[in-house]
Structures are given as structure tokens and as C-alpha cells.
Amino acid sequence: MKRRTLRQLRSRLEPALHHHVYVVLLDRAVARFRRVRAENPRADPEKPCVYVGMTGLSPEERFANHKAGIKDASLVKDFGIRLLPELYAHLNPMPFEAAAQMEKDLAEDLRREGYTVTGGH
């Protein structure tokens, strides 16, 4: 393949695969919020509280933005502890549409496993 053709093909594909889903470990205190309890009626108190999100940035950059108050989810800003890459790293990167669906699916899967989940819209 000619170098110019490969460069054009790569430039078209790379932007399409730059979205990520991510999971943030939250302080257990978020389970006291009525909205969080309502979203997680079958939560296992032994399992952690997490936030599931999607971003066009790297998960590390997005978490830093949450903590800095830049387009933040207030629960992550106030109660976010760290990322949990063991729950999402194998899924990334992906196109926007896939990431939007994966965010919902991952949140639902974690709820089913007993995690207290917020986010995942």
C-alpha cells in the first residue's frame, strides 16, 4: 500500500476509535443518597460504589477533569477515589456509538453483579 494511502486510511480510522468507557471507584458515602439507592435496589453492601462514564479523552484525563470541576459529575468530583481499569480497560478504545451503548451495558452489568452504580446514562 502506498504511504499516502495508508496515512489517509489511518487518519480516517483513528478518530473513529478514540472513545472510552471508564469506571471510577466512589466513596461508600454515596450510597446514602436517595437517588443512588433508588437506582440500585439490589445493591450488595459488600461491593463498591462506582461511577460509569464515557469519554473522547483518555480515562485518566477525564477523571482529572472531574476532580478539577471541568464538566464534572458532582458525585465523582466530591466522592471519586480512583479509576478501576480492571473493569473497563479490555473494552477500549471504540467508536462513539459503541461507547455510548457500552456505557449503558457496563453500568447494567455491574448493577446486576451487586455494585452500587451511578452514571451509565
What pLDDT shows up at residue 7?
57
In this predicted structure, the answer to whether residue 61 has a pLDDT above a threshold of 70 is: yes
Reading the block at residue 44, the C-alpha cell is: 450488595
- Residues making up the chain, counted from first to last: 121
Question: CA 7, CA 42: separation in Å to the nearest integer?
Answer: 50
In this predicted structure, the answer to whether residue 63 has a pLDDT above a threshold of 50 is: yes
Give 68-71 contacts, CB < 8 A, sequence gap 24+: none
Angle at 101 between CA 111 and CA 86, to 5 degrees: 55
Question: CA 81, CA 33: separation in Å to the nearest integer?
Answer: 17
In this predicted structure, the answer to whether residue 62 has a pLDDT above a threshold of 90 is: yes
Residue 45 has a CB neighbour count (10 Å cut-off) of 9
The full set of domain ranges for the chain reads 18-119
What pLDDT shows up at residue 1?
44
Q: What is the mean pLDDT of the chain?
A: 90
Are residues 116 and 49 in contact, defined by beta-carbon separation less than 8 angstroms? yes
pLDDT in tens, 102-119: 999 999 999 999 999 999
In this predicted structure, the answer to whether residue 41 has a pLDDT above a threshold of 50 is: yes
What pLDDT shows up at residue 50?
98
Angle at 111 between CA 18 and CA 41, to 5 degrees: 145
Question: CA 116, CA 83: separation in Å to the nearest integer?
Answer: 15
